Amino acid sequence: MGLRSDSVARLQCFDQWAQQQDKPPPTPPVAPVASAAPIVLTMVAPEAHNCKNPKFSELSRYWELEAGSDCGTFGIRGYQPISLSWIGSDSVNAQPTSPAPGHTAASALSFKTTEMRLGLSIRTKIAQGLLTQNEPFRRDSIWFAYSQQSNWQIFSGDLSRPFRTTDHEPELIYIYPLEAAMPWGWQLRYAGISINHQSNGQPLPLSRSWNRTILMAGMEKDQKFHLLGKLWYRTPEDLVNDDNPDISDLVGRAELTGYWNVNPDHTLGVTLRHALRAHGNGSVRLEWLRKLGDSGFIGNNSGLRLHTQLFSGYGDSMVDYNRRRTALSVGLSLVDW
C-alpha cells in the first residue's frame, strides 16, 4: 500500500520487473555426450577364408589344404585351364577307327588340319574336414569337377563348320593334405584319389569312353617348382561294351607334370604320359603361359594367360586315342593360380 503514494518507488519496482523479463531462462545443464566410434568399411577377406592369399603356397591355395587357404564349400573354382585356342596339326582324323566291332566310321570327311579348340573346366568343393576335423590347420576335401574339350572345324566352311569332337570328363576327387620333407628341398603337399569318366558322348561308330580310378600326389619347391603325378587303373569292360580296348596301351597308365614359375609373368610346363609297358606308347606336352593384364587390385592378380602348347603322341582327344598326332596350339587361357 505504501507504493501507491510513492511514485518514485513504484517506478523503480517496475524497471526491475522489466529487466527480469528480458533475461533468457536459465539453460539446464547438459550431460557430456561420448564421441561415437568411427565406422570402418573393408573388403579384405579374413585370412582364415582366402584361397587367393599369396602368403600360402600355390598347391595349398589350389587344393585349399590349410585353414588359411580355405574358401569353403560349393564355390566355383577353375580346374584345368579354361581356354580358346587355334590349333595347327600335322594330320587330322578324318575317318576314326577302333579295334572294337562296329566302331569304324563308314566314310572319311574332309576335315582341315587347322581348327579351334574350346576348353571348359570347373570344380567345386562339396565336403571338407572328414579326416582332419580334429586338426586346426589342415583341411582334407572332396571335390566334383567337370571338364569339356571341343575341337571346332571353324575353317571348314564346306562342311558347315562342325564340331569335330567334344570330350566330357566328370570326376570325383578326394584330397588329403601332407607335410613331408623330400630330398633336395622338395615338400610333398598332398595325396589323393579320384573316380574319373571320360567319353565323347557319340553314338556308334564314333563312341569312345573309359572309366578310371586315379591315384595322385603333388609336391613343390620354393614356390617355383611343382611336380604332379598320377597313376591310374582302367575299370575293365566286357568286349561287347568296350569302345576302345587298346586305349591304355596307347594313351597310357601314368602321367607326370612339372611346372616352373620362371617369374610372376612366365610359367613353363611339361606333361609326360606313358603306358608303363616295354613297347608302350604315350605322349608329351610342352607349355608356355604368359600372364596378361592385371585386375588392378592388390592381391587379386589377373588369371588371363597367353597359352602356347606343343603336343605329340596319342590321346589328343578321345576320338584320336589311337592316332599319333603332333599339334601346336596358341590361344588364351584362364587359370586358377
Q: Which three cell numbers stand for residue 112?
A: 582341315
Q: What is the per-residue pLDDT for 279?
A: 85
Q: For 69-100, what is each residue's pLDDT tens digit?
A: 999 999 999 999 999 999 999 999 999 999 99
Find all residues with CB under 8 Å of 11, minimum gap 6, and list them: none
Cα(275)–Cα(295) distance, integer angstroms = 42
Q: What is the length of the chain?
A: 337
Q: Which three cell numbers stand for residue 4?
A: 501507491
Q: Which domains does the chain have, with CATH numbers?
A: 47-334 (2.40.230.10)
Q: What is the separation of C-alpha 88 from the centre of its chain, rounded to a whole number of angstroms?
A: 27
Q: What is the separation of C-alpha 71 from the centre of its chain, rounded to a whole number of angstroms?
A: 12
Question: Can you count the helices (H) and strands (E) in the chain?
Answer: 4, 13
Pairing, β 187-199 against β 82-89: unpaired
Nearest to 79 by CA among 56, 63, 57, 58: 63
Q: For 186-197, what is each residue's pLDDT tens digit?
A: 999 999 999 999
Q: For 128-184, what is each residue's pLDDT tens digit?
A: 999 998 888 899 999 999 999 999 999 999 999 999 999 999 999 999 999 999 999
610333398: which residue's cell? 188
Q: Which three cell numbers stand for residue 326?
A: 603332333
Nearest to 206 by CA among 154, 160, 165, 148: 165
Q: What is the per-residue pLDDT for 49?
A: 67
Whether residue 284 is predicted with pLDDT greater than 80 in this model: the reply is yes
Stated as kind and residue range, the H or E segment containing 14 is: helix 7-22
Euclidean distance between the first and final Cα of the chain, in Å?
A: 103
Nearest to 74 by CA among 88, 64, 59, 87: 64
pLDDT confidence of 37, banded at 50, 70, 90?
A: low
List phi, psi (to 5°) of 57. -70, 165
Percent of the chain, pLDDT > 70?
Answer: 83
